[in-house]
Amino acid sequence: MRTVLEARGVCKSFGGLSAVDGVDMTVGEGELHAIIGPNGAGKTTFLSLLSGELRADRGQIRLLGEDVAGLAMHERARRGLARTFQVTSVFEDLSVLDNMLLAAQARERHAYRFWTPAAADLALRDEALAGLRDVGLAERAAAAAAILSHGERRALELAMAVAARPAILLLDEPMAGIGTKEAGQVVERLRGFKGRLTIVLIEHDMNAVFALADRITVLAQGRAIACGAPAAISADPAVQSVYLGDGAEY
Ligand SMILES: Nc1ncnc2c1ncn2[C@@H]1O[C@H](COP(=O)(O)OP(=O)(O)OP(=O)(O)O)[C@@H](O)[C@H]1O
């Protein structure tokens, strides 16, 4: 399996606090790799180091073989490293479909260059509609983005991120702030993307993580204490002790 993203010895301190302390992680093409850990373990910081929102103090971050640790966020994004909230600016006044067309166009500027403009428009439209179907939003295509529910908006953001065809998509708690029923729908959607997309997922919903992940990296106090398939992770004594520790929340 081709390696899409590789982190080696990545560190980040805030003052005296070592938030991310020498983390290694390898994500293969088509893999859904989850990062879990108790509150304050360093998950969000690590994701920000991967995306370029924060700069690592030390360590390597390789995207498709290229060390991107010194690159700005937009330069990593241009190379295909996408974090949902960064790649998706939903335009409230536009329809759901037009938002999708914009997201797809950003990528497709060159893809349809040999087509007539009308045929290119049709192909883009088909692709945008298919993308909306993938996230259960096809019936909302004509609606203004402004009137979407919170869950529908998150679905649109996901569809727009996917439409840009990133090499790897970083998802930060896609189930946060949505109801149980909608969380179940998000799990189904993400399952639908499995194999087609390379995903790094941070999520507190353990049912979702264990249902979706190919592999899981467990962070605790800034360190990666385990990495493996879900069954191995749930059986790992070090992981169990982190989660069974003093009133640990996740
Ligand atoms: N900008 C910052 N300045 C100072 N400390 C920070 C900053 N960002 C994070 N931290 C600290 O770094 C540690 C790791 O935080 P981080 O948010 O990455 O953890 P997390 O695993 O994502 O937690 P949660 O599950 O609660 O979101 C925490 O102790 C946090 O207080």
Q: Are 128 and 97 in contact (CB under 8 A)?
A: yes
List, for residues 114-137, the tens digit of each pLDDT value: 666 666 678 889 999 999 999 999
Q: Which residue, among 25, 27, 34, has the nearest Cα to 4 in the 3D structure? A: 27
Query: For the residues 230-248, what does the mean pLDDT come to?
Result: 82
More reliable by pLDDT, 23 or 85 = 23
Average pLDDT, the chain: 89
199 C-alpha to ligand 1 centroid (Å): 22
Q: Are 35 and 84 in contact (CB under 8 A)?
A: no
42 lines ligand 1 (CB under 6 A): yes
Which residue's CA is the nearest one to ligand 1's atom 23?
40
pLDDT of 63: 97
Complete edge-to-edge strand list for the sheet that includes strand 58-63: 17-28, 3-14, 58-63, 66-67
Residue 247 has pLDDT above 50, yes or no: no
Within 10 Å of residue 72's Cβ, how many Cβ atoms? 12
Most ligand 1 atoms within 8 A of CB, residue of 43, 54, 83, 203 to mutate? 43
pTM over 0.80: yes
Which tokens hold the place of 89?
């600016």
Beta bridge partner(s), residue 60: 8
pLDDT of 68: 96
List, for residues 15-61, the tens digit of each pLDDT value: 999 999 999 999 999 999 999 999 999 999 999 999 999 999 999 99
Here the ipTM equals 0.97
